[in-house]
Chain A
Amino acid sequence: MDILLEQVEYRYAANSPFEKKAVEEVSFKIPEGQCTAIIGHTGSGKSTLLLHLNALLKPTSGSVKIGDRTVKSGRKEKDLKPIREKVGIVFQFPEQQLFEETVMKDICYGPMNFGVSEKEAKKRAAYWLKEVGMPEDVLEKSPFDLSGGQMRRVAIAGVLAMEPEVLVLDEPTAGLDPRGRREMMEMFYRLHKERGITLVLVTHSMEDAARYADKVVVMHKGRKVHEAPPRELFSDAERLSEWGLGIPEVVKFQRMLEAKSGKTFPKVCLTMDELAEMLKQGGGLS
């Protein structure tokens, strides 16, 4: 299922003295089965844009095509549940959405809202809890007795248990420790590769965008200013800094190495592994 944004504009508090244009003239495609990263400075409209991907917000002008449904400004939409079932969103700080007495019940909440039987939902809860790296005995505990990082994992399991086709992640690793970050991203990436889930990732980590994305969309002051595969995007550090963004450490290192050795590598390396491989083959750096 592709998602297609066309000339999307969103104004908060439209037609009031507090009107605030958060997103304007944004068009791009989120192709099925790919990982699309959205990067941009704080306040550039990323979160607002994400809310359009499962019709939580309706554009004030323009349209969003989600599979075979089109959400358009000025048209009353009925029965948005099928859209929300297919597009799962993990919000920033999702641990704030936990409310049930037990972890089990909380994870079952989403699936059961979409008509999954209790028995099946419980099976899914056990399965997805394991997938997010939590021990099974947590199922009967209260989510409020867990640590912050564990609550985050439970909340994510609650979205995954809906088994959406498209998984939208709004800075899913913000506030986690480095190891938790890594594990979490690797898990999402594995789901993406193994199950073909379409990923949309909003991130402040250029490393993550470089490592996982097939395509990166750059937002700046509510507009889409660039859209490119990561290798192309990160080869132009100057432009990125104009939008208040940087390049991954690996790329910085490569640039420094090139400057000091006077040699240029044939391509920009996006991960440590790639760079190591390149150095091994290229050799001869003295």
Chain B
Amino acid sequence: MMEKMIFGRYIPADSIAHRMDPRAKLIFVFAFIAIIFIADDVWGYLIAAVFTYASIKLSGLSLRFLISGLKPVMILIAFTFLLQLFFAREGNIVLELGFIKIYEEGIRQAFFISMRFTLLVFMTSLLTLTTTPISITDGLESLLNPLKKIKFPAHELALMMSIALRFIPTLMDETDKIMKAQMARGSDMSSGPLKDRVKAIVPLMIPLFVNAFKRAEDLATAMEVRGYRGGEGRTKYRLLVWQARDTLALLSLIILAGALTAFRFWI
């Protein structure tokens, strides 16, 4: 299941979304997250959905690929949908089956919340799917740069983030490997009483931590011997170039925000 997840992965390709400036993409996604909360009726969500669909098209990825890759998240969304459906208690009763009562407001809430959740997951996935972790970090550092004046450790934060991102796949592989090694020694993590299953986690976690600390130490040493001294006076190999399409992307967001506001308050 884990190896199929595309959440947080990068898919190399050549599309408009791939070529965008990471700074623009970061602003785009964060602004989208804020803007989506303006929508509060069917029309608003419809517009947001069309907007998201257009963004997906511009990233060169297929909708089907996204849906199949985000299946575990979709299950979570479906679960939220059902929770809302059964537990919201406002408005008229639409359906009554024994002790289950479904209210008008429940349907509304369930639909809107899961819709909002889905669009957010799609958009944030688009960011990571079309941007290498290193570009995301570069973009973030550049956006946070003005904060350096008030002693905000922008470079250090970006470095920590890029190291963390770099080691996530390594850690996943390692978890898989150690799990198999302990299973070969008769550990059983998938059956038996809960107490035993919890116990079976210890032989997995300890080697994982030991290795992670060892690796962190090696990395620190390797950086030190190569004369790493923080962000002071450091130049970049990859330069970020803001282009017309980046401005256009942000403009489209303003239009979206305008449209959603219009639908909410006047139409």
**Residues in chain A within 8 A of chain B (CB atoms):** 12-13, 15-18, 51, 54, 56, 81, 84-85, 88-89, 91, 94, 96-99, 109-110, 113-114, 144, 158-159, 162
Q: In the complex, which residues of chain A have a beta carbon less than 8 angstroms from the beta carbon of B181?
A: 89, 91, 94, 96-97
Bound-state Cα–Cα, A13 to B65, Å = 14
Q: Knowing A18-B4, A96-B207, A96-B211 touch, does A113 contact B69 (C-beta < 8 A)? A: no
Q: B206: CB under 8 A from chain A?
A: yes
Q: B187: CB under 8 A from chain A?
A: yes
Q: In the complex, which residues of chain B have a beta carbon less than 8 angstroms from the beta carbon of A54?
A: 184
Q: Knowing A84-B186, A113-B187 touch, does A97 contact B65 (C-beta < 8 A)? A: no
Contact in complex: B178, A97 (CB < 8 Å): yes
- Count of B interface residues, CB-CB < 8 Å: 25
Q: How far is the CB of B190 from chain A (nearest CB, A)?
A: 10
A-B contact number at CB 8 A: 70
Contact in complex: A97, B182 (CB < 8 Å): yes
Per the 8 Å Cβ criterion, residues 168-219 of B in contact with A are 174, 177-178, 180-188, 202-203, 206-207, 210-211
Q: In the complex, which residues of chain B have a beta carbon less than 8 angstroms from the beta carbon of A16?
A: 3-4, 68-69
Instruction: Give 15 A-B pairs besides A56-B184, A96-B181, A110-B185 with Cβ atoms closer than 8 angstroms.
Output: A16-B3, A17-B11, A17-B65, A17-B69, A51-B180, A81-B188, A88-B184, A91-B180, A94-B181, A97-B207, A109-B187, A113-B186, A113-B187, A158-B185, A159-B184
The listed residue (A12, A17, A81, A109) touching B203 by CB distance below 8 A is: A109
28 contacts between A and B (CB under 8 A): A13-B4, A15-B4, A16-B3, A16-B68, A16-B69, A17-B6, A17-B65, A51-B180, A54-B184, A56-B180, A84-B185, A84-B186, A89-B181, A91-B177, A91-B180, A91-B184, A94-B181, A96-B177, A97-B181, A97-B182, A97-B203, A98-B207, A109-B187, A113-B186, A113-B187, A113-B188, A159-B184, A159-B185
Contact in complex: B186, A114 (CB < 8 Å): yes
Q: Using an 8 Å CB-CB cutoff, how does the interface string of B61-82 with A read, 1 for contact, 0 for none?
A: 0000100110000000000000
Bound-state Cα–Cα, A94 to B178, Å = 9
Interface pairs A-B: 10 shortest CB-CB: A113-B186, A16-B4, A99-B206, A110-B185, A97-B181, A13-B3, A89-B184, A99-B203, A114-B186, A91-B181
Q: In the complex, which residues of chain A have a beta carbon less than 8 angstroms from the beta carbon of B11?
A: 17
Contact in complex: A56, B183 (CB < 8 Å): yes
Bound-state Cα–Cα, A16 to B64, Å = 11
Q: In the complex, which residues of chain A have a beta carbon less than 8 angstroms from the beta carbon of B206?
A: 99
Contact in complex: A99, B207 (CB < 8 Å): yes
Q: How far is the CB of B195 from chain A (nearest CB, A)?
A: 15
Contact in complex: A110, B210 (CB < 8 Å): no
Contact in complex: A113, B180 (CB < 8 Å): no
Contact in complex: A162, B4 (CB < 8 Å): no
Q: How far is the CB of A274 from chain B (nearest CB, A)?
A: 36
Contact in complex: B185, A97 (CB < 8 Å): yes
Q: How far is the CB of A80 from chain B (nearest CB, A)?
A: 9
Bound-state Cα–Cα, A159 to B181, Å = 10
Contact in complex: B3, A18 (CB < 8 Å): yes
Q: In the complex, which residues of chain B have a beta carbon less than 8 angstroms from the beta carbon of A109?
A: 185-187, 203
Can you name the residue of chain A whose Cβ is closest to the Cβ of B3?
A13
Contact in complex: B186, A12 (CB < 8 Å): no
Q: In the complex, which residues of chain A have a beta carbon less than 8 angstroms from the beta carbon of B186?
A: 81, 84-85, 109-110, 113-114, 162
Bound-state Cα–Cα, A96 to B177, Å = 9
Q: How far is the CB of A51 from chain B (nearest CB, A)?
A: 7
Bound-state Cα–Cα, A70 to B188, Å = 20
Q: How far is the CB of B181 from chain A (nearest CB, A)?
A: 4
**Residue among B6, B65, B69, B185 with max Cβ neighbours from chain A (10 Å):** B185
